[in-house]
């Protein structure tokens, strides 16, 4: 669950499962997380408040793209996918990855009113 006040979620190359730490299997890109601390990404997207948008930024060569149909279905009308040409899971093609990430952020925050403090 996102912290109170969250308006959007930017997901960079998500798999079907995730966790809130970096593990050796993440660094080596060997497998998706398992264990008590891991969670279903589609379930978390579905559980997010209806006003929170979700953007997926994904490389065209990312092996985890196979889960996008489930993630997009979980998000309904409030989710969008932004594709980075020629990039894999790590989004190493910095120039095009930063462009698509910026497009995703612009979409996520398009209808968000500024917060006054």
In a domain, 39, yes or no: yes
In a domain, 32, yes or no: yes
Query: What average pLDDT does range 82-107 have in this prediction?
Result: 86
Residue 23's domain comprises 8-108
In a domain, 42, yes or no: yes
In a domain, 64, yes or no: yes
d(CA 49, CA 1): 9
**CATH classification of the domain holding 49:** 3.40.50.1820
pLDDT value at residue 32: 76
The phi-psi region of residue 35 (left if phi > 0; otherwise alpha if psi is between -120 and 50; otherwise beta) is left
In a domain, 18, yes or no: yes
d(CA 116, CA 22): 34
To the nearest whole number, what is the mean pLDDT of the chain?
84
In a domain, 43, yes or no: yes
Phi, psi of 36, deg, nearest 5: -60, -30
In a domain, 115, yes or no: no
Tally of structural domains, the chain: 1
C-beta separation of 13 from 91 below 8 A? yes
The pLDDT tens digits of the residues spanning 15-69 come to: 888 777 676 666 666 777 777 888 889 999 999 998 899 999 999 998 899 999 9
H-assigned helices in 1-117: 24-28, 41-47, 68-75, 94-108
d(CA 117, CA 39): 34
In a domain, 113, yes or no: no
């Amino acid at each position: 669950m996102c912290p109170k006040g969250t308006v959007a979620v930017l997901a960079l190359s998500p798999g079907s499962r995730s966790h809130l730490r970096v593990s050796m299997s993440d660094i080596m890109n060997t497998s998706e997380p398992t264990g008590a601390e891991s969670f279903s990404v589609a379930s978390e997207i579905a559980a997010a408040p209806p006003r929170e948008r979700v953007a997926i930024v994904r490389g065209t060569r990312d092996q985890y793209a196979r889960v996008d149909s489930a993630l997009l279905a979980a998000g309904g009308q409030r989710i969008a996918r932004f594709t980075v040409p020629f990039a894999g899971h790590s989004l190493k093609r910095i120039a095009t990855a930063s462009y698509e990430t910026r497009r995703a952020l612009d979409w996520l925050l398009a209808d968000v009113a500024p917060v006054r403090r």
